[in-house]
Amino acid sequence: MTHQQNYGHDRLAHYTFHNEVLFLKCWTNLNLKWVEPEKLSQLYFNRFPQEQNMIHLNRCADDRHRKMLSVNVTCDNIKLPNLIIVGPQKTGTSALLSFLKLHPNVTSNLNVEGSFEEMQFFGGTNYKKGFEWYQSQFLQAADNHQIIVEKTANYFDNPVTPHLLSSMLNPDSKNHELKIIAMIADPVDRAYSWYQHMRSHNDSIATKYSPEKLFSMLPGDPEYEVTNRLRQRCLKPGFYAEHVDRWLDYFPPSQIILIDAKAFRLNPTQIMDQLLIDLNLPTSNFNYATNLRYVPEKGFYCTIKKGKTKCLGASKGRKYIPISDSLRSQLNSYYAGHNRALLKLLNRYKFNVPGWLLNF
């Protein structure tokens, strides 16, 4: 069976179809019925629900798709990212991106309206804009840009992202150049940081409930449902084993770089210098010891550009009351199973184990 529309241009099609139907009626017990295409599509998608969502491919990688692209897209010199920082949120992803961009051979996408530097593409609000839009965000990349990086910090725990991302950027696993970076922070710190983030954005639930109250509610509690969305956004990205395992369904361990978020926060020069080596970036004319500096007032490392120190904005590295010991131990118990699973997974695939995970 070929694509129905092709028959419209084929003078033999009517004859072929007509006789095929007569043949089937005469020689088989098949009961042929006319069904509206819409009804047929409903039947089909009920049977194959996963096919309802469109998957954008790299249209430059296929000759037929290439011919259908708009004239504005020149596949000959197409620039697509070969490094994706996938998150999770509140682990230092913005600092990592800003540090990487200091290197002369690294560039990133243009700022996206409405979502700052984040593309929010694979599984996000911009996915419907398609391949042409995605590739157009990297047009400024020059030939000396060995690394083109995109960062969207909620890719990490979005269940559809690994599939969509690998379909476009890693087809048939031939693009071994593509690397995925995830930052692995203590999930307790991450959850608490997200809670504080929402509180400072005046989220009605975060301002009404203390973290102790929010995280100790149980199903059946009258306020459980109304607070559940915030609680899940705090807690779920920290189920690292589950999320990393899903990425491993689509990418071999050699394409995934896991960074210890605490080591990165305390000693970014060492982590970044190692990252340059892992990404095969030149180190002869660039190192982080001369491009980063600790700023005591900020309490974090900041970049040095043309002699000027530039720290990330106030929303990164916020000042808030440290997490209480009791809440930390409560959340440690909550995450114990997830952390043990992560430790097992990291050992199985020979990833480095972050210091904070060694006690599990």
Q: Which stretch binds ligand A3P (CB under 6 A): 56-64, 85-93, 274-282, 333-341?
A: 85-93
268: preceding bond cis by omega (within 30 degrees): no
Q: Quick count: other Cβ atoms within 10 Å of Cβ 240? A: 27
Q: Any bridge partners for residue 108, and if so which?
A: 149
Each residue 237-276 as x (binds ligand A3P by CB under 6 A) or -, in order, gives ----------------------------x-----------
User: If binding is defined by CB under 6 A, does position 316 make contact with ligand A3P?
Assistant: yes
Query: Considering only residues 131, 215, 240, 301, which one is a binding residue for ligand A3P as defined by CB under 6 A?
Result: 301
5 vs 153: CA distance, rounded Å: 42
Decide: is 134 part of the binding site for ligand A3P (CB under 6 A): no
Looking at residue 260, the DSSP 8-state letter turns out to be E
Question: Which span (17-25, 83-91, 105-113, 228-236) binds ligand A3P, by CB under 6 A?
Answer: 83-91
Q: Residue 282 has which token pair?
A: 């030149």
On whether 317 is known to bind a ligand per the annotation, the reply is yes
Residue 27 CA neighbour count, 13 Å, CB half: 6
90 part of the active site: yes
Binding status of residue 155 toward ligand A3P by CB under 6 A: no
Reduce the DSSP state of residue 247 to 3 states and report it. Answer: helix
The token pair that represents 179 in the structure block: 């690397």
Is 319 assigned to a binding site?
A: yes
209 is in an annotated binding site: no
Catalytic member of 39, 79, 90, 344: 90
Any contact of residue 91 with ligand A3P (CB under 6 A)?
yes
Q: In angstroms, rounded to a whole number, what is the distance separating the alpha carbons of residues 188 and 207?
A: 19
Question: Tokens for 246?
Answer: 């899903």
Contact of 127 with 167, CB cutoff 8 Å? no
Catalytic residues: 90
As annotated, the binding site for 3'-phosphoadenylyl sulfate includes 193, 301, 316-320
Contact residues for ligand A3P (CB under 6 A)? 89-95, 153, 193, 196, 265, 300-301, 312, 316-318
As annotated, the binding site includes 193, 301, 316-320
